Structure 1
């Protein structure tokens, strides 16, 4: 049965997240299970006057390749696919797995080989997104399926409601400190009203963190210190991931010291690893263990020299995402958590770590946990200790220099 919320989501993706312009070439990528959302996106891309192309990907074929392909075949990346991505002005990627556990029994070494083979594509995507002279945009989202619902321990209807609330919230869903940033003339039921207020508020959070030198994250599940000197913090406000809600940076690669015990399972390539614990010295995860699938964890960490270093540290800020689902697109945004990614740094943060993986792992900070920035208490028990509501009148509409919204506006202006 058709869900009218698909049209609302497609509209926001096309007219807010990617801000498509007439004549732009747009790739809409995803599996066959995601066709209902992909077709709605196609419709709204046409209405924007852009040039859409649907590219369907087979989950079953990907599984067969991993199980039966030779080393040469696992390392092969289609030049046609690579060239397509180079030609697009924008890529909208839709996840829609019907069986998220299909790869669970694949040999970890083969999975690592395939991940490494895809590195040039991921590198190109990151490079284009981080290039201020390239107007390229990329956004990833998700179509609710039975597979994702099962991972989240919900019925399909419950999971769909969860997804659409996270993507299409109303202003009453904003963090309390962010409600002062709502445009009083805007429609409070329009999800874009929410995202624009969120952009203005979270841009100030990122602005506060930029210029800080050190972080200390401490709680029952973590005691980690790192330098962020010279690194850029970004406000993720619905232009690269959707739903969104995080502030992130790239730690200085050799600075991370301490330990973390991740409170949620770490999921990568459909494989779930529970009870991950890491200890860092000189920026390197010198100890790594897990309660389940430890062999897979270690295989990924030994993929290359950068896989044991952090490429990202971030704080989740989306209040509509209030539970673990087993899907990183949502879990890394849970308000009251931090996450960090082993492997490749994110373009634009100043991070220089290189790897074939970027594996986000989430740690809950809602109980007896704090983050200190340059020794000042900045975050406590899942809430920002520094408040920004009194600056709402002066907050720029585009979220300021460290928001994704502002970055894309600058690119548009330079290519007008």
Structure 2
């Protein structure tokens, strides 16, 4: 229990002498990243573990999650263009939904829609969720985790999607404030670790390697 207390304490930046000041700095660093991403067109995520995913985010709005809605917080997200996602993502951590776990989930997209889905464990459940309605095979959210005080997977999505050096993609419903249009009864966040050789490209430019941003003014 004490170990979990420390985990939560650090995730909320409560170990800082002035946690409010620490969160203000997080907000400023994330806002610089959001300002950069707004107006860009293409994101590409690549990992040695099998991910090569391209998304179009033209004219979509990036949101700075800096502790005002969730706590702990630490991510930036948007809704990708619904019919433009291409490639494969191999998720690093078990994907948890409704108390069920799917391990080794792998999704392949063509023209925005999941055309292949597999998993080492829970594959039938994964496919059933993707088949529940028209929007369930389309990405509603793409996000980058920016809380570097969260370092380990806990099977609690609220924490796991914030891990600094990861990204997460949610199949299903989009958040309208991003400009996302996809609608579904599903919104399922799945997390991919970038800390072992992963890269993020924006409009062809490398912005993150091994889970760390190249710009020192962005989250760290």
1:81-127 Cα distance to aligned partner (Å, 9 max, x none):
xxxxxxxxxxxxxxxxxxxxxxxxxxxxxxxxxxxxxxxxxxxxxxx
1:360 aligns with 2:205: no
Partner of 1:197 in structure 2? 25
Structure 2 CA distance, aligned partners of 1:159 and 1:388?
30
1:227 aligns with 2:72: no
In structure 2, the partner of 1:215 is 43
How far apart are the structure 2 equivalents of 1:220 and 1:350?
Answer: 31
Offset from partner CA, 1:241-273 (integer Å, 9 cap, x none): 110001111110000000011110000111111
Whole-angstrom CA distance in 2 between matches of 1:368 and 1:165: 25
| 1:121-160 equivalences in 2 (<5 Å) | 156-160=1-5
Q: Answer yes or no: is 1:371 the counterpart of 2:200.
A: yes
Query: Which digits, 9 at most, give the CA deviation of each residue in 1:361-405, with x for residues without a partner?
Result: 00011122211111111111101112327xxxxxxxxxxxxxxxx
**C-alpha distance in structure 1 between counterparts of 2:28 and 2:195, whole Å:** 24
In the aligned structure 2, how far is the partner of 1:386 from the partner of 1:319?
15
Is 1:307 aligned with 2:136? yes
Give the Å deviation of 1:306.
Answer: 0.5
Of 246, 249, 265, the match for 2:75: 246
Equivalent position of 2:14 in the other structure: 169
Cα distance in 2 for residues equivalent to 1:242 and 1:325: 15
Match of 1:174 in 2: none
Q: Normalising by structure 1, what TM-score?
A: 0.51
User: Unaligned regions of 5+ residues in structure 1, if any?
Assistant: 1-155, 172-188, 390-416
Q: Deviations over 1:43-81 (max 9, x none)?
A: xxxxxxxxxxxxxxxxxxxxxxxxxxxxxxxxxxxxxxx
Q: CA RMSD in A?
A: 1.2
CA displacement, residues 4-23 of structure 1 (integer Å, 9 cap, x when unaligned): xxxxxxxxxxxxxxxxxxxx
Candidates 165, 175, 180, aligned match of 1:351: 180
Q: Does 1:381 align with 2:210?
A: yes
Q: Distance in 2 between matches of 1:331 and 1:163?
A: 12
Deviation at 1:283, TM superposition (A): 0.4
Asked if 1:298 corresponds to 2:143, the answer is no
Q: Which runs of 4+ in 1 moved over 4 A?
A: none
Question: How do residues 66-145 of structure 1 correspond to structure 2 at under 5 angstroms?
Answer: none
Give distance in 2, aligned partners of 1:320 and 1:200: 16
Unaligned runs of 5+ in 2: none
| Partner SS for 1:307 | helix
Q: What is the deviation of 1:170?
A: 4.2
Give how far 1:168 is off.
Answer: 3.8
TM-score using structure 2 length = 0.95
**C-alpha distance in structure 1 between counterparts of 2:58 and 2:109, whole Å:** 18
